[in-house]
């Protein structure tokens, strides 16, 4: 006999429910399809007639133009390095710190944790200028470390890993401790493997944020061979881009979103599983 | 894992390798977009189109003609000032930068730009060669702070088919008003005969446009907008008159109200109104429409500077220029900058094909320039053009503040005196806090 | 545990804390110092004490920007939370169909703010937008979303909700998967209706997720910036200028570094106060049934 729980979790949604969902999904997806169609149109055809996107002829010329720019692949590479570097860095730092805050006792633990949480309330625009000044002193502008480092101090990662690790039964590491394992061994051999789902979630969101970041790379990477994709594509536009190069702009949007979309699809299952841990502890 | 790390290190190493050659390198930073795909190594300036195409081929050509110099180009997102400011703060500015003339004073008064008098002298360029508008735009006190490159400002872009329908064409030219009252009368006539708005306006998200209208017609009446470096005067009888006039246009439904710039451009292209006051930079796009059979603008496009509505025939304009940020340079680099100036001055005609007004008197008189479409109609802008006094700092921020309040006055969100008083208060506060 | 061992625990947190101190706390402190000075981007400046703060209190533009920020946050967070929760409930099921729809509802979250605003301009602009066209087919006058001072904040809220649905939806989905099956089985034995089950079991079990979503979203939306800058430039007449846009304009547009820093500190304190209040209020309201 199917239980109510099964009914809620796997059971049938009424046709009305499905209808509503599909309607909502259409609302969500319509602007994206619109973007895709615009990206496949000749630019001058769109000046003053964006409705022209609803019918042919369609063309790949905007995508060809993106790749025709010799620097595009370089920007793609820079974005990948920065996003992957930031993701790796956040995972390492946040896991270590999360473990410390969730499991270990040390002086000022609570105070330090609260100080980290305060960071959630700091608007990034509020610190961007002093940060720029700092990185100028350290001669880190126009370099990969300069692009990666500011993203590593996001407090959300630490908060997320701490709550997730608190949800892991203490019996597991206490058993390991009785076997004489060091803190480091417990962290590396017991805790980290258990947090893989959380790591993937954090990875996806860090990657997403790093990939789409605009203001920091804009003022830190001022040499075009160090641009990330977001900055490079913005610079490639003419000054009144919204009016003259609409198709090109939309092609850029599609092009820049593809890598993240792939990341999401690959990690979709882990993300949902991982959120569970963090959200409920 | 290790392999990835090794690959990353390799990339880092490659990235930090600068080219070494015997050339003198100049680092040029500009906006106008990136079009290497189309114009990569092209030096055929005469056949390049658009701002991006022309500037790209010009730089390519300079590199080709000067084998001992190489210009490294850095394209930034328009307008590029956050980056430039960041570079200056990090003490690593480029050698040559595109700059709007209204912004020069901000940097020059802080000692962040080199006066370019010596480069001009070496290049054989005299400030007397500049048009009035251009010369005013780059001069602060006794020094020039940039090589002017164009004048750009507002123009009345006209749909002549609708003007004809409204009975407002004479000898193939649109009839323009010569006073505010005349404009109102013509606008009503236009509205009655065509059923369409006389003015297409971008009043949404376009403070520059609103500020341009207010500045232009206050200047025409001889108003002194900035009596000193720390004050603006807008809430005066003249200011109220101009703002009330633009408000009346909206109250009497003679202009569109809810459009932003792209919407207004689309409306003009689709023949939905008589005049669209916007910049020189749109001439190319509109001319293309005018040459395409079947389009609403086909053979129905003309363009002129703002008409005289009060007092003198002047107009608030801006311009692009090339400036040289302050930093240590070798004599060879200085020599290279002078040669670049000479080259760019010699090719000012090519740039004028973008639709902008040339910065040199000789180009204005050049038959090639006058033969370009509409250029004889818009050339007066070079003499009419007025900029804000050079002692006024933060002109672009001020334009934003004034434009926001002016638009509120034009659309009726605030009363005219209230909006103008608010603009004065905000600008004075900004200027009052400058050292 | 010995004291030495205690300090060793800190070693794990140290790499993060060191960077955090250097790259976030130090600039934040420097910001506090700058806020006490009248200084532009290149000048040395001079100490003015609380002068910048006093000036802010009397600056109606700043006041309006704060009010706008609160309004838009209130317009975003409750609907966003409810919609995301509803979606999670509906989509918490196996099957290809649900997976595809989940993907669709998440898809907007991968876009950068530049692209989001570009797309939404086309939807909201009254003369050319999709919404305007739809309105016209019903014979209504298109609403001037971006130029009417009363419609512009709802328009920003709508854009933001569309953009931000994915993350809270995933959080709720995850929360739902943690609810033990046997709780539902017990409810089934009682012949509880779906509504009763939702109110008695699902919602209480999602309490922590709910708190997390509301707190994170509130903190995020109080920092709303790109949508306002790119879609409306803060207009019309400042009706959509948010606090972060205000401080951005002050810093990058007018070079008023000290003034912008003071605005940033005030905003920081406000966000902090709001977050702590939320935490405290929800902690008290639900404190009875424990949790850690």
Average pLDDT (B259-268) is 86
A253 interfaces chain C, CB cutoff of 8 Å: yes
Q: Is A107's Cβ below 8 Å from some Cβ in C?
A: yes
The better pLDDT of the pair B86, B131 is held by: B131
| C251 located within any domain | no
Is the pLDDT score of A233 beyond 90?
A: no
Interface of A with C in 74-93 (CB under 8 A): 92-93
DSSP letters for B29-67: EE-S---HHHHTT---GGG--HHHHHHHHHHHHHHHH-T
Asked if C93 lies within 8 A of A264 by C-beta distance, the reply is no
Number of domains in chain C: 1
Using CB atoms, which residue from C101, C247, C257 is nearest to A21?
C101
What's the pLDDT score for residue A4?
A: 35
Shortest Cα–Cα distance, B408 to chain C (Å): 5
**Structure confidence at residue C127 (pLDDT):** 65
Which of A7, A8, A14 is the best mutation test for C, with the most CBs of C within 10 A? Answer: A8
Task: Inspect the interface and report whether the beta carbons of A244 and B285 lie closer than 8 Å.
Answer: yes
Among B32, B36, B83, the residue with its CB nearest the CB of A218 is B83
Residue C63 falls inside a structural domain:
no
B366: helix, coil or strand? coil
Of B31, B427, A217, the C-alpha closest to C256 is: B427
Task: Tell me the nearest-neighbour CA distance from C213 into chain A, angstroms.
Answer: 9
Query: Is residue C113 a part of any domain in this protein?
Result: yes
pLDDT tens for A150-200 read: 999 989 899 889 988 888 888 888 888 888 888 889 999 889 988 887 888
Do B430 and C254 make contact, defined as CB atoms within 8 angstroms?
Answer: yes
**Interface mutation vs chain A, best among C3, C22, C27, most A CBs within 10 Å:** C27
Query: Residue C238 domain-assigned?
Result: no
Give the domain CATH number at C143: 1.10.3720.10
Q: Which chains touch C (3 or more CB pairs under 8 A)?
A: A, B
Answer yes or no: is pLDDT of A5 > 50: no
Q: How far is A47 from chain B (nearest CA, A)?
A: 7
How far A183 CA sits from the closest chain C CA (Å)? 8
Asked if B141 is an interface residue toward chain C (Cβ–Cβ < 8 A), one would say no
> What domains does chain B contain, in order, with CATH numbers?
22-148+320-355 (3.40.190.10), 153-317+390-432 (3.40.190.10)
In this predicted model, what pLDDT tens digit does every residue of B389-398 receive, in sequence order? Answer: 989 999 988 9
Name all domains of chain A by residue range, CATH numbers in brackets: 4-63 (no CATH), 69-280 (1.10.3720.10)
pTM of this prediction? 0.87
> Is any Cβ of chain B less than 8 angstroms from the Cβ of A52?
no
For C157, the domain range is: 71-231
Across the B/C interface, how many CB contacts are shorter than 8 Å? 89
Burial annotation A26-46 (CB, 10 A radius, 16+ → b, else e): eebbebbebbbbbbbbebbeb
Residue C140 lies in a domain: yes
B16 contacts in chain A (CB < 8 Å): 143
Is C57 in the A-facing interface, judged by CB distances under 8 Å?
no
**Residue B258: its chain C contacts at CB < 8 A?**
126-127, 144, 146-148
For residue C60, being part of any structural domain is answered with no
Render pLDDT for B118-137 as a digit per residue (tens, 0 to 9).
Answer: 999 999 999 999 999 999 99
Are the Cβ atoms of A25 and C101 closer than 8 angstroms? yes
Q: What is the pLDDT of residues A56-97, one digit of tens each?
A: 789 888 888 887 777 888 898 999 999 999 999 999 999 999
Establish if C28 belongs to a structural domain.
no
Domain assignment present for C248: no
> Is C23 in contact with A256 (Cβ distance < 8 A)?
no
In this complex, the chains that touch A, judged by 3 or more CB pairs closer than 8 A, are: B, C
Model ipTM? 0.84
* A49/B266 CB distance under 8 A: yes
- Taking residues C8-17, report their average pLDDT: 91
Each residue's pLDDT tens digit, B204-239: 888 889 999 999 999 999 999 999 999 999 999 999
User: What is the rounded average pLDDT of the residues B325-337?
Assistant: 95
């Amino acid at each position: 006999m199917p239980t109510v729980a099964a009914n809620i979790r796997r059971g049938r949604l009424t046709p009305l429910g499905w209808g509503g969902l599909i309607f909502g999904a259409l609302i969500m997806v319509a602007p994206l399809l619109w973007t895709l169609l615009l990206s496949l149109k000749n630019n001058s055809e769109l000046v003053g007639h964006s409705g022209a996107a609803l019918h042919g002829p369609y063309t790949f010329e905007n995508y060809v133009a993106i790749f025709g720019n010799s620097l595009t692949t370089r920007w793609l590479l820079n974005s990948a390095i920065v996003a992957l570097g930031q993701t790796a860095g956040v995972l390492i730092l946040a896991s270590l710190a999360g473990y410390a805050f969730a499991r270990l006792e040390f002086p000022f633990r609570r105070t330090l944790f609260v100080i980290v949480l305060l960071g959630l309330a700091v608007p990034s625009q509020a610190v961007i200028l002093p940060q720029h000044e700092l990185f100028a002193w350290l001669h880190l502008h126009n370099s990969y470390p300069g692009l990666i480092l500011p993203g590593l101090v996001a407090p959300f990662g630490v908060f997320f890993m701490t709550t997730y690790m608190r949800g892991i039964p203490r019996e597991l590491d206490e058993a390991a401790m009785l076997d004489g394992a060091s803190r480091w061994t417990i962290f590396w051999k017991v805790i980290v493997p258990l947090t893989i789902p959380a790591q993937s979630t954090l990875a996806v969101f860090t990657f997403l944020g790093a990939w789409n970041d605009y203001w920091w790379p804009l003022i830190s990477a001022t040499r075009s061979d160090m641009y990330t994709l977001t900055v490079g594509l913005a610079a490639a536009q003419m000054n009144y881009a919204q009016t003259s190069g609409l198709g090109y702009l939309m092609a850029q949007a599609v092009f820049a979103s593809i890598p993240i979309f792939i990341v999401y699809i690959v990690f979709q299952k882990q993300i949902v599983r991982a959120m569970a841990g963090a959200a409920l502890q | 894992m290790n392999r990835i790390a090794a690959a990353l290190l390799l990339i880092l190493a490659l990235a930090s390798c600068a080219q070494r050659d015997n050339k003198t390198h100049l680092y040029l930073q500009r906006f106008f977009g990136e079009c290497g795909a189309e114009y990569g190594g092209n030096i055929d300036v005469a056949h390049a189109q658009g701002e991006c195409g022309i500037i790209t081929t010009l730089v390519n050509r300079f590199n080709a003609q000067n084998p001992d110099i190489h210009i490294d180009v850095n394209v930034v997102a328009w307008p590029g000032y956050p980056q430039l400011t960041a570079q200056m703060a990090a003490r690593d500015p480029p050698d040559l930068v595109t700059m709007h003339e209204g912004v020069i004073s901000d940097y020059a008064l802080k000692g962040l730009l080199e006066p370019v008098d010596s480069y001009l002298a070496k290049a054989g360029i005299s400030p007397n060669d500049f048009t009035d508008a251009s010369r005013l735009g780059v001069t602060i006190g006794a020094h020039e702070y940039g090589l002017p490159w164009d004048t750009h400002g507002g123009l009345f872009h006209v749909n002549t088919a609708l003007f004809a329908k409204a009975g407002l064409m004479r000898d193939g030219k649109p009839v323009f008003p010569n006073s505010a009252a005349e404009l109102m009368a013509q606008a009503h006539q236009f509205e009655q005969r065509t059923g369409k708005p006389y003015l297409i306006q971008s009043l949404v998200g376009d403070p520059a446009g609103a500020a341009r209208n207010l500045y232009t017609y206050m200047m025409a009446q001889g108003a002194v907008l900035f009596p000193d470096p720390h004050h603006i005067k807008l809430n005066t009888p003249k200011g109220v008159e101009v703002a009330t006039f633009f408000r009346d246009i909206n109250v009497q439904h003679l202009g569109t109200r809810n459009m932003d710039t792209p919407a207004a451009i689309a409306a003009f292209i689709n023949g939905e109104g008589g005049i669209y006051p916007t910049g020189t930079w749109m001439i190319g796009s509109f001319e293309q429409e005018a040459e395409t059979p079947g389009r609403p603008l086909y053979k129905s496009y003309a363009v002129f500077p703002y008409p005289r509505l009060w007092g003198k025939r002047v107009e608030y304009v801006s311009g692009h220029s090339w400036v040289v940020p302050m930093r240590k340079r070798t004599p060879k680099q200085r020599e290279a900058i002078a040669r670049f100036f000479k080259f760019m001055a010699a090719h000012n005609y090519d740039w004028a094909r973008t639709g902008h007004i040339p910065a040199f008197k000789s180009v204005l008189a050049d038959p090639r320039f006058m033969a370009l479409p509409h250029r004889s109609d818009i050339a007066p802008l070079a003499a009419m053009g007025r900029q804000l006094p050079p002692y006024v700092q933060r002109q672009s921020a001020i334009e934003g503040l004034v434009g926001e309040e002016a638009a509120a006055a034009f659309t009726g969100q605030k009363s005219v005196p209230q909006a103008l008083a608010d603009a004065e208060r905000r600008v004075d506060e900004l200027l009052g806090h400058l050292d | 545990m010995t004291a030495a061992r205690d300090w060793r625990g800190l070693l794990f947190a140290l790499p993060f804390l060191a960077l955090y101190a250097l790259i976030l706390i130090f600039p934040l402190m420097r910001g506090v110092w700058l806020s006490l000075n009248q200084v532009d981007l290149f000048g040395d400046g001079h100490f003015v004490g609380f002068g910048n703060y006093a000036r802010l209190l009397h600056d109606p533009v700043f006041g309006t920007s704060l009010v706008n920020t609160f309004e838009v946050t209130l317009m975003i967070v409750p609907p966003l939370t409810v919609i995301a929760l509803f979606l999670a409930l509906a989509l918490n099921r196996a099957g290809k169909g649900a997976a595809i729809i989940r993907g669709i509802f998440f898809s907007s979250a991968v876009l950068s703010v530049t692209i989001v605003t570009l797309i939404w301009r086309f939807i909201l602009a009254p003369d050319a937008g999709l919404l305007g066209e739809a309105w016209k087919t019903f014979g209504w006058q298109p609403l001037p979303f971006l130029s009417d001072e009363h419609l512009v904040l709802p328009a920003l809220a709508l854009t933001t909700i569309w953009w931000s649905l994915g993350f809270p939806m995933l959080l709720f989905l995850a929360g739902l998967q943690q609810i033990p099956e046997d709780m539902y089985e017990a409810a089934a034995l009682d012949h509880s209706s779906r509504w009763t089950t939702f109110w008695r079991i699902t919602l209480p079990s999602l309490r922590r997720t709910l708190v997390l979503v509301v707190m994170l979203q509130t903190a995020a939306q109080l920092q709303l910036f790109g949508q306002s800058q790119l879609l409306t430039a803060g207009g019309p007449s400042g009706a959509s200028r948010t606090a972060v846009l205000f401080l951005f304009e002050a810093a990058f547009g007018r070079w008023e570094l000290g003034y912008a820093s003071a605005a940033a500190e005030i905003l920081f304190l406000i966000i902090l106060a709001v977050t702590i209040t939320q935490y405290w209020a929800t902690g008290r309201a639900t404190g009875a049934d424990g949790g850690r």
